[in-house]
Structure 1
Amino acid sequence: MAQNEVPAGRELARVQQEHWQRTYTDHPGMYGDRPSEAARYAAGAFRAAGARRVLELGAGHGRDALHFAASGFTVQATDFSPVALAQLAERAEAAGLSVGCAVQDVREPLALPDASVDAVFAHMLLCMALSTAEIRALVAEVRRVLRPGGTFVYTVRHTGDAHFGVGTAHGDEIFEHGGFAVHFFSRTLVDSLAEGWDPVEVHPFEEGELPRRLWRVTQRRPGEPL
Structure 2
Amino acid sequence: MLAFMTDDGQDLADAQRAHWQETYTAHPGMYGEEPSTAAVHAAGVLRAAGARDVVELGAGHGRDALYLAREGFTVRATDFSATGLDQLRTAARQQGVTDRVTAVVHDVRDPLPLPDASVDAVFAHMLLCMALSTKEIHALVGEVGRVLRPGGTLVYTVRHTGDAHYGTGTARGDHIYEHGGFAVHFFDRTLVDTLADGWTLNEVHAFEEGELPRRLWRITQTLPR
Q: TM-score, normalised by structure 2?
A: 0.96
Q: What is the CA–CA distance in structure 2 between the aligned matches of 1:60 and 1:116, rounded to whole Å? A: 23
Q: What is the CA–CA distance in structure 1 between the aligned matches of 2:81 and 2:7, rounded to whole Å? A: 21
The aligned counterpart of 1:63 is 63
**1:37 equivalenced with 2:37 (yes/no):** yes
**1:108 equivalenced with 2:106 (yes/no):** no
Q: What is the CA–CA distance in structure 2 between the aligned matches of 1:46 and 1:116, rounded to whole Å? A: 16
Give RMSD over aligned pairs.
0.9
The aligned counterpart of 2:3 is none
**Secondary structure, aligned partner of 1:119:** strand
Q: What is the CA–CA distance in structure 2 between the aligned matches of 1:48 and 1:10, rounded to whole Å? A: 39
The aligned counterpart of 1:15 is 15
Return the letter of the residue paired with 2:21.
Q
Alpha-carbon deviations, 1:140-183, whole Å to 9, x = none?
00000000001100000000000001111010000001110000
Q: What are structure 2's unaligned runs of at least 5 residues?
A: 1-5
Cα 1:208/1:7, change in 2 over 3 Å: closer
The aligned counterpart of 1:138 is 140
Return the letter of the residue paired with 1:74.
T
Return the letter of the residue paired with 2:154.
F
Per the TM alignment, residue 216 of structure 1 is displaced from its structure 2 partner at its CA by: 0.1
Is contact 2:21–2:84 with CA below 8 Å preserved after alignment? yes
The equivalent position to 2:208 in structure 1, one of 202, 206, 209, is: 206
Q: What is the CA–CA distance in structure 2 between the aligned matches of 1:7 and 1:201, rounded to whole Å? A: 34
The aligned counterpart of 1:162 is 164
Q: What is the CA–CA distance in structure 1 between the aligned matches of 2:198 and 2:49, rounded to whole Å? A: 19
Q: What are structure 1's unaligned runs of at least 5 residues?
A: 1-5
Is contact 2:7–2:172 with CA below 8 Å preserved after alignment? no
The aligned counterpart of 1:184 is 186
The aligned counterpart of 1:129 is 131
- Over the matched positions of the two proteins, sequence identity in percent amounts to 71
Q: What is the CA–CA distance in structure 2 between the aligned matches of 1:7 and 1:181, rounded to whole Å? A: 12
The aligned counterpart of 1:52 is 52
Q: How many residues align?
A: 218
**Secondary structure, aligned partner of 1:19:** helix
Per the TM alignment, residue 60 of structure 1 is displaced from its structure 2 partner at its CA by: 0.3
The aligned counterpart of 1:175 is 177
Q: What is the CA–CA distance in structure 1 between the aligned matches of 2:168 and 2:201, rounded to whole Å? A: 31
Is contact 2:152–2:223 with CA below 8 Å preserved after alignment? yes
**Secondary structure, aligned partner of 2:141:** helix
Q: What is the CA–CA distance in structure 1 between the aligned matches of 2:97 and 2:54, rounded to whole Å? A: 14
**Secondary structure, aligned partner of 1:213:** strand
The aligned counterpart of 1:3 is none
Q: What is the CA–CA distance in structure 2 between the aligned matches of 1:12 and 1:179, rounded to whole Å? A: 10
Return the letter of the residue paired with 2:191.
L
Per the TM alignment, residue 7 of structure 1 is displaced from its structure 2 partner at its CA by: 7.8
Q: What is the CA–CA distance in structure 2 between the aligned matches of 1:19 and 1:206, rounded to whole Å? A: 25
Q: What is the CA–CA distance in structure 2 between the aligned matches of 1:222 and 1:59, rounded to whole Å? A: 26
